[in-house]
Amino acid sequence: MAIARQQTIDRGPLAGTLCLQSDPSAMMECAVLRLTDHCAVVALERETRLSDACDLVVPEAALHRSCKTVWQSGNELILEFEPLAVDGARPATHHRSSCVGALLALRSVFDEIQSGILLLSKDTHVQFCNLTFRQMWNIPDELVEGRPAFGDVLKFCIDAGSFDLGDVDADAHVKARIRSIEAGDSRPIDLRRPDGQVIRVQCTSLPDGGHLLTYTRITDIVRHSDELDVLRTALDRIQDGVLLLDENLNALFINARMREYFGVTEQQAAEYPSYAKLLAGTPSAGLYGMSSEAFEVHCASRIAAVRAADPAVIDLKVGDDLNARVCCTEIGNGGRMLTYTDITDLARNAKQLEKLATVDAMTGVFNRRHFLVLAQAEWSRFQRYHRPLSVLMIDIDHFKSVNDQYGHAVGDEAIAALAGVCRRDRRRADVVGRLGGEEFAVLLPETEQAQALLIAERIRNQVGACVLARPGGRFNMTISLGIAMAAPDMSDVGDLLKAADRALYEAKAAGRNCSRVAVELPGHAVTAA
């Protein structure tokens, strides 16, 4: 005898409310996807596990029924209604027709679920499979009507090419899956179909010894995961360091370059360490080379700047051989993205350009322009603190004759020899510059006039001991020096240099190969002695 299908309401989702019987004040809004005399399929706003009996209220259907959850997947539930009371008392038994009706209703509801459902007995024979499962694997109705073994269904899918086993033997795969199900292994398995779809299979053990298998399409999720893996791999291959932080400044992602920078392993990076913890570990990675006090200040400053999403770019000297440019960008989820770019070559080139702009190529001492810049800085310090400041003006004697008689190569050698003596003999604070041709100057901070004279004589004697090669023999060169000390009535550093220059000319006039000191007589201009 055919069994009539249960009456259903197919007007689209209806608004409903679930009330827990244990706590009537606890109510949840839901959408009723399917409604029959015996059960309902509902969707909650978010996934919530319901273990207590509850009441379903659907105003549009004039329904208020007590029910219990018989199946749940995500936020979708199947609710089975309690039997209606007769004269206020619940029936002690159900008629067979009522049971059959309830069973048909449940089957109808399961057919509406978007996941494939396969119910297996204790001996892994198919007791029920829903419409989604049959359509998912193109299984004919006659195959499942005779309660086939799960292994037979699985072999049918393999023979039909429904999913690719690769090099795995089909029989071995079937046996392994049956053993896994019988053992109640609930770990999900992802099956990739030839058309690119990915289906996740999960097994749930039932109280009667049977098993419930759910087949859920996760193609979009896997595709996004694959795309994310591709992006992660790409970020791991680039030379820049990339650090993604959440709104609490915990690391969401650290690429390979940045892991190397912070000295963390891939496993440590997967533990979502805080930015503060990453910074604190950089000394052990050999970075910065700061004192502990300076490093604490640096960390506090960086954390504050990143928290404020300060876009200012900073350049850090990392170790002895690496310079990094750090940039912070705010990203859409309230987090931050930090990029560390290796600018070692740029810094090296900038240093070389600075050297070219400030250092005389032939002698290795400062050129005239940069020497005057440094002299002005020392003059400002002299005016502020009234500390002694002296300067030497040096000129090679008879330099034109050396060029004319021995050639410019010998003249260049003489200039280089003088510069070498000045560099070797100078103190850390002294500044040596080539003002032009064969003329040099030495700035002597914290130096009184008498001490400056001693330094000048030492330079003169060392230069005199230099023996230069010339065609046909060797010769000794000599130099003349003018010495001046800064005085309060001098208007600027130019006056100091002019005083030393006048003293130099006095040394030339006195026969060369000597030093002269500029002295300031009361009521007179600076002269030389």
Do 370 and 501 share a structural domain?
A: yes
Do 365 and 343 share a structural domain?
A: no
Do 245 and 215 share a structural domain?
A: no
> In CATH, what number is assigned to the domain containing residue 84?
2.40.10
CA distances from 36 to 61, 78, 426 (A): 11, 11, 101
Do 415 and 514 share a structural domain?
A: yes
Residue 9 lies in a domain: no
Domain boundary among 189, 221, 253: 221
Do 375 and 512 share a structural domain?
A: yes
Which residue range forms the structural domain that includes residue 52? 14-95
Helix (H) or strand (E) holding 423: helix 408-425
Task: Read off the tokens for 486.
Answer: 């800064």
Do 364 and 513 share a structural domain?
A: yes
Do 521 and 374 share a structural domain?
A: yes
CB-based contact 312:305 (threshold 8 Å): yes
Residue 231 lies in a domain: no
Residue 20 lies in a domain: yes
- What does the alpha-carbon distance between residue 88 and residue 258 come to, in Å, rounded to a whole number? 72
Do 316 and 396 share a structural domain?
A: no
- What does the alpha-carbon distance between residue 358 and residue 366 come to, in Å, rounded to a whole number? 6
Do 339 and 290 share a structural domain?
A: yes
Q: Write the secondary structure of 449-486 as one string of H (helix), E (strand) and C (coil).
A: HHHHHHHHHHHHHHHHCCEEEECCEEEECCEEEEEEEC
The DSSP secondary structure of 307-375, one letter per residue, reads: HTT----EEEEETTTEEEEEEEEE-TTS-EEEEEEE-HHHHHHHHHHHHHHHB-TTTSSB-HHHHHHHH
Domain boundary among 95, 128, 148: 95
Residue 475 lies in a domain: yes
Do 212 and 264 share a structural domain?
A: no
Residue 424 lies in a domain: yes
Do 491 and 418 share a structural domain?
A: yes
Domain boundary among 221, 250, 278: 221
Q: What is the pLDDT along the chain (529 residues), one digit of tens a residue?
A: 333 344 444 456 888 988 888 877 678 889 998 888 888 899 998 888 877 788 898 988 888 899 888 888 878 888 888 887 665 454 444 444 455 455 556 666 777 788 899 999 999 999 888 888 888 888 888 888 778 999 999 999 888 888 777 788 888 989 999 999 999 899 998 888 888 888 899 999 988 899 999 999 888 887 777 777 788 888 888 888 899 999 999 998 999 988 888 888 989 988 999 999 988 877 654 555 667 787 888 888 889 999 998 888 888 776 667 788 889 999 877 899 999 888 877 777 777 777 778 899 899 999 999 999 999 999 999 999 999 999 999 999 999 988 888 888 889 999 999 999 999 878 899 999 999 999 999 999 999 999 999 999 999 999 999 988 777 678 889 999 999 999 999 999 999 999 999 999 999 999 999 999 997 544 434 444 5
Question: In sequence order, which residues have a C-beta less than 8 Å from that of residue 400 and are 6 or more positions away?
Answer: none
Residue 205 lies in a domain: yes
Task: Read off the tokens for 140.
Answer: 């004919």
SS percent in the chain: helix, strand, coil, step 5: 40, 30, 35
Residue 230 lies in a domain: no
> In CATH, what number is assigned to the domain containing residue 449?
3.30.70.270
Please give the positions annotated as active site: 438
> In CATH, what number is assigned to the domain containing residue 201?
3.30.450.20
Residue 427 lies in a domain: yes
Structural domains of the chain, count: 4
Do 242 and 210 share a structural domain?
A: no
Q: How many residues does the chain have?
A: 529
